[in-house]
A = this chain, B = another copy of it.
Amino acid sequence: MELLNTLGVTIDMAVEAHELLRGEAGIEIPGVKVIKDKKENYEITKVEILNEQGAAHLQKPIGNYVTIDAPVLRSQNRTAQKEIMLALANILKTMLTINDERPILIVGLGNWHATPDALGPKVVDNIFVTRHLFNLKHEALSKGFKNVAAISPGVLGITGIETVEIVQGIVEKINPSFVIAVDALAAANVERICSSIQIADTGINPGSGIGNQRPGLNREVLGIPVIAIGCPTVVNAAIIAKNTLEMFLDKFSSSKQFYQFLKARQAGIITLVREVLEPFTNNLTVTPKEIDFLLLNLAKVIAGGITMAVHENVQPENVEIYLN
């Protein structure tokens, strides 16, 4: 993880930061509690960062990070995907407290012009927005629906404005009880691309997301709870380079001696990885060709999970009719 840090690569998912550290250290990480729960079609890993020590190790704020790993999200098996939708709804319900007097704000982070970064906007496109109907006391709304607003603020390169500035401004105007922020993440492991969902009660924190200068979107900044839902849609190309080298060293260098030789040359490895990725260095992402199809399914699953978590009236039987 140190090597990745030096390369400027952030580990977005707590579960991966934990795997990397434990793998390297071979011991439990102090200040971190991990619980796994395996089902037929998916596995849930709850990483709880208990204190500052754990936070320092995983380089993430104290809080809960629940990951659903479900390779079935990459398949055409929509029945199994509905299970994931429900699992997501259930995890969200444990994290959020709905206040009937104030709206809920859903924020779709990312750039709608770049497919792997468009997850947040695509989810927002599928969100059943009701705040304007509540304001009009609209008859179509029976009990069992909540007051929901949603926005995709775009990215700095499009608007010239930091996402957090836009969201902060809106939060001050509409006074939501909490924010759910949806974002595309970068994975450390190719296998997690479009097959994992992380739900964190700590919001979005500096260094997260594909764009690494994105500032935080969390309780400190907004003054209200922020639940972050993130899915890895890419892997940083530097990780491919690094993984290749490490796998190579593991496999081909039978002699421990050679391995030591290389470890001593970590700086050299970094230079090498940078050269391979010139002139883009830390700016190259790896993504599957069929990313557009994968995102369609993912966006439905996440929008459906949010909708079921928020509105009591939306159930597995009728959730699809609330997705656009």
Contacts and interface: CB of A to CB of B under 8 A. Distances in A.
A316 to B, nearest CB: 12
Interface of A is mostly: helix
Given A129-B158, A130-B160, A287-B284, A247 B265 contact: no
A252 B276 contact: no
A244 B276 contact: yes
Contacts of A291: 114
Contacts of A193: 280
Contact of A244 (B156, B160, B241): B241
A148 interface: yes
Contact of A251 (B131, B240, B268, B287): B268
A190 B251 contact: no
Contacts of A117: 289
B129 A159 contact: yes
B289 A114 contact: yes
29 contacts: A111-B292, A113-B292, A114-B115, A117-B289, A129-B159, A130-B160, A132-B157, A132-B160, A150-B159, A151-B166, A165-B170, A165-B173, A166-B166, A168-B169, A169-B170, A190-B280, A191-B278, A193-B280, A211-B289, A237-B240, A240-B241, A245-B245, A251-B272, A252-B265, A284-B288, A284-B289, A286-B286, A287-B287, A320-B321
Closest 10 CB pairs of A and B: A169-B169, A131-B160, A320-B320, A113-B292, A149-B160, A78-B321, A129-B160, A165-B173, A241-B244, A114-B292
